Structure 1
Amino acid sequence: MTVEDHEKTDALETTPIPKDAVDVFDESKDNDIHYKTLTWPFVALLMIAEIVSNGTLSLPSALAVVGIVPAVILIVFLGVFALYTSKLLIDFKLNHPGVHSMGDAGYIMGGPILREILGGATVVFAIVATGSELLSGQQALSTLSDNGMCALHLLLIFSAFVLLIALPRTLEKLQYLGLVSAALITISGIVAMGAAGANPVPGRVIKATIPSDFYTAFVAITNPCFSYAGHFMFFILVSEMKHPEDGMKAAWCLQTFATSFYVLFSVIMYCYIGGTTESPVFFSLPPYWSKVCFGIAIGNFVIAGGLFSHTAAKLVFVRLFRGTRHMYKHTVVGWGVWVCLCFLAVVIAFVLASAIPIFSYLIGVAAALFASWFTYGVAGMFFIHDTHHSEDTSFRRKPIQTALAVFSILAGGFICVAGTYVFIKLIVDAYNDGTVGQPFTC
């Protein structure tokens, strides 16, 4: 599309994406804003920044419920499985360059209705993920200040920093923050492991396996399941790559690092702390070391929160302005809408995190409803769709890939249904026990 074409399509409208769409971003030389600027190493770092974040701190508690052996097997299996579904997502993106989001993919597979379902779910999940990072940042600030300020005020302060991270229009402006974020969460984990080793819990109990009922076990294994819940951003990240065909290199880097770090961190922390492991695990450390670890990790929380809110804003922005000059020119309308979208994403996340006492449980519900499909189930649908519409291949020629794709759909459905049931039951139990707090309180 030329610059003249952009000038002619200045209207605020949403145009259906043709199934043979060209690349989502026009990279004409005279554009003011260029999106396709990322290389695969920086995409890998951005992936690590948003996936290897606060969810990591809940993994040791899973070992305290089901034991070392089942938890480690599950973490490794889910990591390998997530790598496989990453390939399915990236292959779908390469087959359909016009895909920028789950909503775009939904349009190709099922038309406007599926586009709205998947597109809306992606925005909702990105905002809920932002709220999750806000809560982690508030916990970190409360720990560092010895609860010296109202938690609501700390949440507001942290939200302001998240908004600043989200504001750049392209991911190129955030790529070096991905490096910083990945380094910070890694260093905080190393320091935590060292602190736990230097201060082991006396009389701790460590078990290879722990018998448990389905409900208790599934509550524990949701932590490993949702620690890989970053696939909903893959289309957006790959869309801004100079060479999208290198997307799998980034995915390999992400899953290799994430799975290795998850196993090492969770096992070491559990071995030194035992069955009394809290979530987040930094609370299980001596106060001084808890502050040190939170002080290092808080940078990851704010950057991950910024990436999630940036994603929510980018999804809506591209939907509104795709094919118009506001995408590529420094227009008042373009920048005005962009800033408003970033602001709204953070504000909504702030309101959810502060106004809903059960928001921590709702994060689990959202992950069960959406991440189960974005990370596992929908990827299988992508493979089946493209194989079905391919002229030179068939399901019979790819029996193993077809079986794996069907398994991924069934796995996504199971995690969705079981996870939703478990977290709704947790909410009911919390109300029955009287442990639900009040909205907008310190």
Structure 2
Amino acid sequence: MSKHSSTEDVEMPGQKAEANVSDYPETPEEDVFVDADVGPDFHGLSWQGAAVLICKSQFGLGVLGIPGTFATLGIVPGLISLLIISAITTFAGLEMGRFRQAHRTVHSIGDAGQLIFGPMGREVLGFFYWLYNALIIGAAMVTFSIALNTLTDHAACSIVWMTVAAAITIVVCTICRTMKYVAPFGWLGMGCLFVAVWLTAIACLAQSRPHKAPSQGPYDLGFQAFATPSFGDAMNAVATHVLSLAGTATFIPIHAEMRRTSDYRKALWAGQGFVVINYTLVGIVIYAKVGQYVASPAIGSAGPTVEKIGYGIALVGLMVSCLFEAHISAKYSFVRILRGTRHLQEGTMVHWLVWFFSILVAVIVGFLIAAGVPFFGDLLGLLGSLFGVLWAMVVPGMTYLYDRDALRRVPRTWREILIALMMLSGFFVIVGGTYGSVSAIKADYDTGSLKSAFVC
């Protein structure tokens, strides 16, 4: 008897024109993971756990970058941009679930690339998917070090705090081989980040004047309905919105470990809804109250005391971000290496060694790039504009086109119109965001503001 019934989600395909996630039968024998009595439970993730991991793939202190985008674009274009991109990425998340339900051997963007483009597509998309996630690990470690520097008044070098984060990540991730056990950390991390973010927003509301405004006399809040940014600045702001919602690629491995994949839509609506509501409200509240005096990240907008308290509360959530991103990156290489062998699910020596070194390599690469590249923030923005947008807006459209005939779609339906708009918008943001990121890197070099590699 397997750990989970193989028939609890079975639903035979119908002849409807509008297929959805549950229009495909469960086929455990073709799944990347097979239910078995031995080894870790790779089908143990509840829909609630999936929802919180969907949240965690996108929600972090990055939400406090949203007020700055409103200051760049103006509140009206900023809100329109955020809501449109939220709708597009939610639709893309639904498409990712539909595609993975139809193709149960798919575990990552790399596997989707193999179906769409062939073996080379698998290797190219898979490598950049892994590299992108490794960079996100590095970004999470950098944020963790910023938090500890703030709390300790720079009592130690940033490299030391990043090393602490890396060590904790390696140890905990080695123990937690399945998302079933990552999900409880997700709940803890999301709770801490939620409190920290809203503490900052409420503290900004309680201030008589913005912390960074002149302490005496009149001041100009600088709140604008419509701003007039340069093209590069505007595209950087839009790219920030996309990158804040670019966790779509991680929805595929989350779907792969769900106990009941027919609950995926429920998990997506819950997780994505939480993220979008908080992004919108936090952005409006902080920008409306602080205006042009918004700090970057905005957690510093309410003053040093609130900043320390906020980082103290968020510290656990930042550590969970490192754990989650390392798990996603390591799970990709782990499955890629052991797929089709008994070592994928049996707790053999090979299984444990591949899992450990998958974590170790991903964390080390993220650490080295984050600590060694002087323009790491701009590099992350550049690769995010290139690949984060690709995962979030372009590849989901390609998965639909791949299955278009099987889905018996009538040409030019509303869904196809949305797919076309999503892909065109993605290509536009890729071009514009790349231009903005390259311009930012050039400006840093021109002004000499870049630090050397591996310095505090």
Q: Same fold (TM over 0.5)?
A: yes
Mapped to 2, the partners of 1:394 and 1:225 lie a distance apart of 28
Mapped to 2, the partners of 1:274 and 1:417 lie a distance apart of 29
Query: Aligned pair 1:320/2:337, yes or no?
Result: yes
Work out which of the residue numbers 86, 107, 111 in structure 2 matches 1:104. 111
Query: 1:40-439 maps to which residues of 2 (within 5 A)?
Result: 40-167=47-174, 168-199=176-207, 200-201=209-210, 202=213, 203=219, 204-388=221-405, 390=406, 393-396=408-411, 399-439=413-453
Mapped to 1, the partners of 2:128 and 2:449 lie a distance apart of 29
* Corresponding residue of 1:23: 31
Task: Please state how far the C-alpha of 1:179 moved relative to its aligned partner.
Answer: 0.8
Extract unaligned runs of 5+ from structure 1.
3-19
SS, match of residue 231 in structure 1: helix
* Corresponding residue of 1:35: 42
Letter in 2 for 1:100: H
CA displacement, residues 74-102 of structure 1 (integer Å, 9 cap, x when unaligned): 11111111111111111001111111011
| TM-score, L = length of structure 2 | 0.89
Letter in 2 for 1:198: A
Give RMSD over aligned pairs. 1.7
Letter in 2 for 1:52: F
Mapped to 2, the partners of 1:220 and 1:402 lie a distance apart of 28
Mapped to 2, the partners of 1:22 and 1:214 lie a distance apart of 48
Q: Are the aligned partners of 1:55 and 1:226 in contact in 2 as well (CA < 8 Å)?
A: no
CA displacement, residues 93-136 of structure 1 (integer Å, 9 cap, x when unaligned): 11111110111111111210111111111101110111111111
Q: Are the aligned partners of 1:41 and 1:250 in contact in 2 as well (CA < 8 Å)?
A: yes
Task: Please state how far the C-alpha of 1:163 moved relative to its aligned partner.
Answer: 2.4
Mapped to 2, the partners of 1:369 and 1:165 lie a distance apart of 31
Task: Please state how far the C-alpha of 1:211 moved relative to its aligned partner.
Answer: 1.8
Task: Provide runs of 4+ in structure 1 moved above 6 Å.
Answer: none
SS, match of residue 149 in structure 2: helix
* 286-295 vs 398-407, greater mean Cα deviation: 398-407
Q: Are the aligned partners of 1:21 and 1:97 in contact in 2 as well (CA < 8 Å)?
A: no
Q: Are the aligned partners of 1:58 and 1:281 in contact in 2 as well (CA < 8 Å)?
A: yes
Q: Are the aligned partners of 2:65 and 2:297 in contact in 1 as well (CA < 8 Å)?
A: yes
Task: Please state how far the C-alpha of 1:395 moved relative to its aligned partner.
Answer: 4.1
Letter in 2 for 1:97: R
Task: Please state how far the C-alpha of 1:412 moved relative to its aligned partner.
Answer: 1.6
Q: Are the aligned partners of 1:380 and 1:404 in contact in 2 as well (CA < 8 Å)?
A: no
Letter in 1 for 2:421: F
Q: Across the two proteins, how many residue pairs are aligned to each other?
A: 421
Identical aligned residues as a percent = 27
Q: Are the aligned partners of 1:137 and 1:158 in contact in 2 as well (CA < 8 Å)?
A: yes
Distance change in 2, residues 1:164/1:269 (3 Å): farther
Mapped to 2, the partners of 1:206 and 1:222 lie a distance apart of 21
Mapped to 1, the partners of 2:423 and 2:75 lie a distance apart of 28
Extract unaligned runs of 5+ from structure 2.
3-27, 214-218
Task: Please state how far the C-alpha of 1:284 moved relative to its aligned partner.
Answer: 2.2
Distance change in 2, residues 1:214/1:364 (3 Å): same
Mapped to 2, the partners of 1:99 and 1:90 lie a distance apart of 11
Mapped to 2, the partners of 1:283 and 1:193 lie a distance apart of 11
* 48-57 vs 312-321, greater mean Cα deviation: 48-57
| TM-score, L = length of structure 1 | 0.92
SS, match of residue 51 in structure 1: coil
SS, match of residue 118 in structure 2: helix
Mapped to 2, the partners of 1:21 and 1:423 lie a distance apart of 45
